[in-house]
Amino acid sequence: MEFRPCIDIHNGEVKQIVGGSLRDAGDAAEENFVAGKPAAFYAGLYREAGIRGGHVILLNSRDSEHYGATKRQALEALRAYPGGLQAGGGIGPDNAEEFLDAGASHVIVTSYVFQGGRIRFDRLEQMRSAVGKDRLVLDLSCRKTAEGYNIVTDRWQNLTREKVEEPLLERLCRYCDEFLVHAVDVEGKSGGIEAELAALLGKWDRTPVTYAGGVHSYGDLELLRKLGGNRVNVTIGSALDLFGGPMSWEKVLDMCRNG
């Protein structure tokens, strides 16, 4: 298990939000924490600690009036830690190179490869051709439904018919280097992990996968390690002391590194 830090940027500020509250209308979100420091500060912190594979997420849509400020923060963070962070949020073949040139190790994509609630494999081919399989991460953030864990897109606002399950992972792993999975129903709520989803992801061993959502205690971290077979990497946001939470990020890093 690896600790994969996050830098979420909304309306030009580093924030931790309740994931399901994000709305394009009015660029609204329920906030857990608003940082007084820029994104580059956190990137420098992660660089000094030698933590790789974290993600910088732009939470505004590309047509938002705040997108320019959010993008500037993201690019500054990537430049502060070249090769150490991934970038996601509104990325497609037309702008992926800009983030890679700024220092992103990978770009993270969801919404671009979905249309009509289904995966567009032609668009996946375009992304793979644009950046290469080894620099592409697919975000399979999902919400629990009666059918299983359905992938959500467009900043987690639109539910698709695609479910996170092994046959889908088998099809998608040909196109990407890693998977990032936010459990949207518990994201930002610090109420515990989605145990069923964690166990599902723990059965997958073909490509790295990072789980995010609900971790709010060291017990949650140990449960995720157990359910994920020590293979599933973890992102923790609102619960970290860096973002006003009770968990020491240094202890989290030590637990992940040393088991």
Q: Taking the domains of the chain in order of start, what are their residue ranges?
A: 6-252
CA distance 135 to 128: 8
Q: Give the separation between CA 97 and CA 232, rounded to whole angstroms.
A: 28
Residues in a beta bridge with 10: 13
Q: Does 6-252 carry CATH code 3.40.50.300?
A: no
- pLDDT by residue for the chain (259 residues), tens digit each? 999 999 999 999 998 876 666 666 666 667 778 889 999 999 999 999 999 999 999 999 899 999 999 999 999 999 999 999 999 999 999 999 999 999 999 999 989 998 889 999 999 999 999 999 999 999 999 999 999 999 998 877 889 999 999 999 999 999 999 999 999 988 766 679 999 999 999 999 999 999 999 999 999 999 999 999 999 999 999 899 999 999 999 999 999 998 7
Q: Does residue 93 sit in helix, strand or coil?
A: coil
pLDDT of residue 187: 75
Specify the amino acid at residue 72. Answer: R
* Residue whose pair of structure tokens reads 């830098």 in the numeric block: 7
Do residues 134 and 177 lie in contact, with contact meaning Cβ atoms separated by under 8 Å?
yes
Strands 6-10 and 54-58: parallel
